[in-house]
Amino acid sequence: MKQDENHGFSPGDNREPEPSVSSHMAEDGREILEAEHRLPDRNEPVGEENPTPSPQGEPEDRLPPEEGKKPFDIRRELFDWSESFVTAILIIVVLFAFFVRSIGVDGSSMIDTLHDGDYLIVSNLFYDPQPGDIVVLTKKTFMTDSIVKRIIAVGGQTIDMDFETGEVWVDGELLDEPYVHEQMWKHEDMTFPATVPEGCVFVMGDNRNGSTDSRNALLGMVDERYIVGHVLFRIWPLNAFGTVD
């Protein structure tokens, strides 16, 4: 039997091709048909059509690099720390040159509030003297070194004292002075009552019997311009660090 070369398909036929068939004659004269089935090529991919290749030389699961993250640079870190340190030092120098200063206490005229060897931070920036403030002042006609005292009265106020009872009055009001070391009995050459001139202050030490202060005419009423600064806090000793009242 003659088979068509196209195995029964006409040109342009879109049907799926059937397996090709060949024939031979058996001994009894019957024609035996054998279907020729095409086996897939073992190198041909199965089940994938047009696989998408990954970019050459780049793994598919690689994550994109983090944006904006800079590698650690020890030199840059040291430079930043040095810059911050120098800036802090300059700020401290400027503060201590123009706004604040450190003063050491010498003597016992302010015990029990302050003691010999204490170190204080004082400032006169925008300072307006007030009764009760502890101040550092310098009056060369009295003493070349700076002294630390407490303001008892300011300009325009009248101060009076009773040396038998140790009491102090300002403008007729008895002062409550818990900071005084002991009852005052020491009397200098100033006479009372006395009115403090404007622009001046009257000062005494908390250790009234161990202090030379405005009760002595050599110091007397102190011009506010002699005030170096108001005590802000104590920096030494460390166990007493803090503000001072």
Catalytic positions, written as ranges: 109, 149
Cis status, amide bond into 193, omega within 30 of 0: yes
User: 9-46 burial by CB neighbour count: b if 16+ within 10 A, else e?
Assistant: eeeeeeeeeeeeeeeeeeeeeeeeeeeeeeeeeeeeee
- 27-34 contact pairs (CB < 8 A, 24+): 31/1
List C-alpha distances in Å: 183 to 13, 39, 69, 209: 130, 123, 71, 8
Residue among 199, 188, 120 nearest 153 (CA): 199
Q: How far apart are the first and last CA of the chain?
A: 129
